[in-house]
Homo-oligomer: A and B are copies of this chain.
């Protein structure tokens, strides 16, 4: 029996729609994989922590699809594998829940088979799970969940490439999770298919500034780069009090912040843990003033460790 953990992630990171993501410490998913000679392929024995919302059918479950892909690619499609999934993070929260399940399943099943696949192959297997869950095989959650750290992803599906970016030592992340659900597919469709060229150029200027700021540990530049003129102007509506929450974060000392993925979670980046602690409380309090919906607040390093086998 193999037990693997994959962390939650913050994708987009304001300006980097579909290209940036980083791992956070704390929440994530655990997948237990067992060889099971009684059947062929992947079966899901149980899912805990999802309140019955996720499909047990392996062909429709992100972890099931990723695990099946690992069996196929490893040439072991005849094997039988039984999965148990423990959600240790909220669903549809903007923290990469489907990616964490897919990555943990891919890592666990690969380990069960003797760890034959390299990590880029595992990523591509996990992306098949992402495609099943949200219709798009973007790696901006799966790659940071697998590799940890802060990553740049380019391309999609089989053509995905991943490049690690440096993280300044004092960079911390505050985030809140309002107990709402945002459907990723709906959030993507809401953006429309085109954007203004001038807006796009503003966005890639901010992307360039963010990458340079990470390399230079330039916190001021980093703050100026955490501006999303593409997705946030549409998606902020998914979160009651969005602008008040961000204003509270900035007032409490955050460098900047936005939606985590497509929301409803929001993140803010901060210099130093004590600043991040203050910011998390300020964000939670501001959300509470705007909405009766329950809301949790957390703090983490930016770019925590990636997926790992916890016991064999």
Chain A residues with CB under 8 Å of chain B are 15-20, 152-155, 161, 163, 165, 191-198, 200-212, 215-216, 221, 224, 230
Which chain B positions have C-beta within 8 A of A210? Answer: 208
A212 in contact with B209 (CB, 8 Å): no
Residue contact A200 to B200, C-beta cutoff 8 Å: yes
Contacts A/B (CB < 8 Å), 24 sampled: A15-B204, A16-B204, A18-B205, A19-B201, A19-B205, A19-B208, A20-B208, A152-B205, A154-B205, A163-B212, A163-B221, A193-B198, A194-B196, A195-B197, A200-B203, A200-B204, A204-B207, A207-B211, A208-B208, A208-B210, A208-B211, A211-B212, A212-B215, A215-B215
Q: Name A206's contact: one of B154, B193, B221 (CB within 8 Å).
A: B154
A196 and chain B: residue at smallest CB distance: B194
B195/A163 in contact, CB under 8 A: no
- A202 contacts B163, C-beta separation under 8 Å: no
C-alpha gap A207/B205 in the complex (Å): 8
A211: chain B residues at CB < 8 Å are: 207-208, 211-212, 215
Partner of A152 from the list B17, B152, B196, B212 (CB cut-off 8 Å) is B212
Note all chain B residues with C-beta closer than 8 A to A201. Answer: 17-19
Choose among A155, A192, A194, A198 the residue with the greatest number of B CB atoms under 10 Å from its CB: A194
Partner of A197, one of B15, B153, B221, B230: B230
A2 to chain B, nearest CB (A): 34
Find chain B residues with CB under 8 A from A191 CB. 197
In the bound complex, CA of A209 to CA of B215 (Å): 12
> Which chain B residues lie closer than 8 Å to A165 at the CB level?
212
Chain B residues with CB under 8 Å of A230's CB are 197, 200
Query: What residues on B are CB-neighbors of A17 within 8 Å?
Result: 197, 201, 204
By beta carbon, the residue of chain B nearest A216 is B215
The chain B residue sitting closest to A231, CB to CB, is B197
Whether A152 pairs with B209 at a CB distance below 8 angstroms is yes
- Counting chain B CB atoms within 10 Å of each CB, the highest count among A204, A215, A221 belongs to A204
The interface residues of chain B lying within 8 Å CB-to-CB of A20 are 208
The distance from the CB of A221 to the nearest CB of chain B, in whole angstroms, is: 7
For A15, what are the chain B residues with a Cβ–Cβ distance below 8 Å? 204
